[in-house]
Structure 1
Amino acid sequence: MELCDLLSPALKRKDTKMRAALTVEKQVAIALWKLAVPDSYRSVGNQFGVGKSTVGAAVLQVANAIIDQLLSRVVTLGNVQTIVDGFNALGFPNCSRVIDGTHIPILALKHQGGQYINCKGYFSMMLQALVDHKGCFTNINLGWSGKVHDARIFRNSGLFEQLQEGTYF
């Protein structure tokens, strides 16, 4: 419900003469269900009593609302000295962030599938994340195919450019 309250300004719709608008709660529920369960749009639509195109629209609208309304709250730079002190307390002196990549499983793409097969043999997209001493995200990079190496993703990221220019910290 907290997520619904936070996303409400971006997701609230008005009824039209043709149909009643989906509530914010139903849009968020549809999106979360689709993102959590590997069901088809049709199956999710049947679960919530809506069409598959409505499911697709709800997922995109909720995702865009999360990016617009919440991403800057969740992914923040934070106070560098506090983070360095936090890592120092954990036994990692002179450390300000931790970076790693992970594979996000996806369904096979019909005409580009070979590009998304990772070294472990399944279809995926890569997520590169930078976190502070508490595990909070300070930078994310998503969208590279699973076949791409972590180092290449890092070298082509905005984070790398900012570090090279000396503007990140």
Structure 2
Amino acid sequence: MDMDTEFSQTAGSGALEIMLLMGQIMAMERRFWARETSTDWWDRIALEVWDDSQWLRNFRMRKAIFMELCDLLSPALKRQNTKMRAALTVEKRVVIALWKLATPDSYRSVGNQFGVGKSTVGAAVMQVAKAITELLLPKVVTLGNVQVIVDGFSAMGFPTCGGAIDGTHIPILAPEHQGSQYINRKGYFSMVLQALVDHKGRFTNINMGWPGRVHGARIFRNTNLFKWLQQGIYFPDQKITIADVEMPSYPWGPSLL
């Protein structure tokens, strides 16, 4: 006699009823969990019901901006359906990437959130990042009207300033090799993002990828921006006279110290 048979015979019908009831409850819990981690909340709630305040709170952008972003990235993100599976929509690829980049959630957790596998999350992040780099950066991160920028900084009390420059540390996992090179002065592993912005805080030039240990001044001296400034081609013909001295426009910021 096995243990299951012995238990059912000695426990009686009451125990069997309890076991059946527990089985039903567990099945209900599993169904509830599946619904909670399915993609319905995105397809039927976020896309169809949420207002701008909910979009801002969860995605840091309004729905109209999100849809515009999807349209801009669409040429690089469209995928054809196959006989094996339906391709993810552009909107879903973008929202998965935004969620992963904006939160500390694991790939598995993000996958559960949107009803996809963790490998799909990884692929979406890489595809969207590549599309942004190829299609948006050349259009969005650009100098624009230099005279307007110089005048804007001058009105704030910074004459001859063509941009404010500084760096920020992006936390990363320790690289397998040369990890010590990525430990910044605050004691954690990072890469440095150095950016130049105009008088309204809009990015006009970015440089990314230096190890966290490297000083901002060294990073700046090894950028194309520095070379262009040295050659006088980044702020062309932007000079003002202060105390009978003609001075060109140039970036201001602690990264240059």
Answer yes or no: same fold by TM over 0.5: yes
Give 1:109 deviation, angstroms.
2.9
Which residue of structure 2 lines up, in the alignment, with residue 116 of structure 1?
182
> How many percent identity over aligned positions?
79
Tell me the distance in 1 between the aligned counterparts of 2:167 and 2:178.
Answer: 22
CA-based RMSD of the aligned residues comes to 1.4
Which residue of structure 2 lines up, in the alignment, with residue 149 of structure 1?
215
Q: 1:51 and 2:125 equivalent?
A: no
Q: More displaced, 67-76 or 149-158?
A: 67-76
Provide structure 2 residue ranges, at least 5 long, that are not aligned to the other structure.
1-66, 236-257
Tell me the distance in 2 between the aligned counterparts of 1:74 and 1:3.
Answer: 12
Give 1:102 deviation, angstroms.
1.0
Partner of 1:96, secondary structure, is strand
Tell me the distance in 2 between the aligned counterparts of 1:44 and 1:116.
Answer: 27
Partner of 2:144, secondary structure, is coil
Partner of 2:121, secondary structure, is helix
Tell me the distance in 2 between the aligned counterparts of 1:121 and 1:101.
Answer: 16
Which residue of structure 2 lines up, in the alignment, with residue 131 of structure 1?
197
Following superposition, which runs of at least 4 residues in structure 1 exceed 6 angstroms of deviation? none
TM-score (norm 2): 0.63
Q: 1:94 and 2:160 equivalent?
A: yes
| Greater RCO, CA 8 A, separation 6+ | 1
> Of 70, 76, 80, which residue of structure 2 is paired with 1:14?
80
Tell me the distance in 1 between the aligned counterparts of 2:174 and 2:109.
Answer: 18
Q: More displaced, 7-16 or 38-47?
A: 38-47
Amino acid at match of 1:143: G
Tell me the distance in 1 between the aligned counterparts of 2:218 and 2:160.
Answer: 25
TM-score (norm 1): 0.93
Tell me the distance in 2 between the aligned counterparts of 1:108 and 1:34.
Answer: 19
Amino acid at match of 1:9: P
Amino acid at match of 1:147: R
Q: Select the structure of larger CA radius of gyration.
A: 2
